[in-house]
Amino acid sequence: MYILPTSPQVRITLSYFVTFIAIGMCAGLLGPALPHLAEMTGSSMGQIGILFTARALGTMLGSVLSGALIDRFDGHRVLVVMLLLMAAGLFAVPFSPALMLLTAVMFLLGMAEVSVNAGANTLLLWNHGPASPPWVSALHFCFGLGNMLAPLVVVAVLYLQLSFAWAFWFVALYAVALSVPLLRRASPRPPDDTASDRPAPPPDGVRLAIFLAMFGLYVGLEITFAGWITAYGMLNGLAAGDAALMVTLFWLTLSAGRLLAIPLVRRLSPWKVLRGCLALGLFSALALHFLWLPLPLVALLFGLACSAIFPILFGLSHQLMTLNGRTTGWIFLASGTGGMTLPSLTGPLLERAGTGAFPLLLAALVGLLSLGLVALRARVRRSGH
Per-residue model confidence as pLDDT tens digits over 185-244: 877 777 665 444 555 555 667 888 888 999 989 988 988 887 778 778 877 887 766 776
In a domain, 196, yes or no: no
Together in a domain, 273 and 371: yes
Check the CA dihedral 115-120-121-122 and report its sign: positive
pLDDT of 88: 93
Together in a domain, 315 and 178: no
What percentage of the chain reaches a pLDDT higher than 90?
A: 17
Q: Along the 385 residues of the chain, how does pLDDT read in single tens digits?
A: 344 445 677 788 888 888 888 888 887 777 667 777 878 888 775 677 677 778 878 887 887 777 778 778 887 888 889 999 999 999 998 898 888 999 899 899 988 888 888 888 788 877 777 677 777 778 878 887 887 787 778 778 878 888 878 888 999 999 999 888 888 887 777 766 544 455 555 566 788 888 899 998 998 898 888 777 877 887 788 776 677 678 778 878 888 888 887 787 778 888 888 999 999 999 999 999 998 999 999 999 999 998 888 888 887 877 777 766 677 778 878 887 887 778 777 777 777 878 788 899 999 999 999 999 999 888 888 776 5
Together in a domain, 180 and 326: no
Together in a domain, 231 and 331: yes
In a domain, 44, yes or no: yes
Query: CA end-to-end span of the chain, whole Å?
Result: 18
In a domain, 200, yes or no: no
Q: How far apart are CA 335 and CA 188, in angstroms?
A: 25
Q: Which of 156, 189, 222 is the last residue of a domain?
A: 189
In a domain, 149, yes or no: yes
pLDDT of 1: 38
Number of H helices, E strands in the chain: 14, 0
Together in a domain, 185 and 209: no
Together in a domain, 365 and 320: yes
Together in a domain, 239 and 299: yes
Together in a domain, 239 and 316: yes
Q: Which of 138, 164, 189 is the last residue of a domain?
A: 189
The CATH number covering residue 218 comes to 1.20.1250.20
In a domain, 197, yes or no: no
Q: What is the pTM of this model?
A: 0.74
Q: Which amino acid is at 274?
A: L
Q: Are 94 and 33 in contact (CB under 8 A)?
A: no
Helix (H) or strand (E) holding 58: helix 50-72
Domain count, the chain: 2
Together in a domain, 215 and 334: yes
Max Cα-Cα span within the chain:
62
Q: Which amino acid is at 340?
A: M
Q: Which of 189, 221, 239 is the last residue of a domain?
A: 189
In a domain, 199, yes or no: no
CA dihedral 187, 190, 193, 194 (to 10 degrees): -70
Together in a domain, 66 and 168: yes
The helix, strand and coil proportions of the chain, stated in percent and rounded to the nearest 5, come to: 85, 0, 15
Together in a domain, 104 and 248: no
Residue in 119, 147, 108, 113 with CA at minimum distance from that of residue 16:
119
Domain that residue 38 falls in: 7-189
Together in a domain, 150 and 114: yes
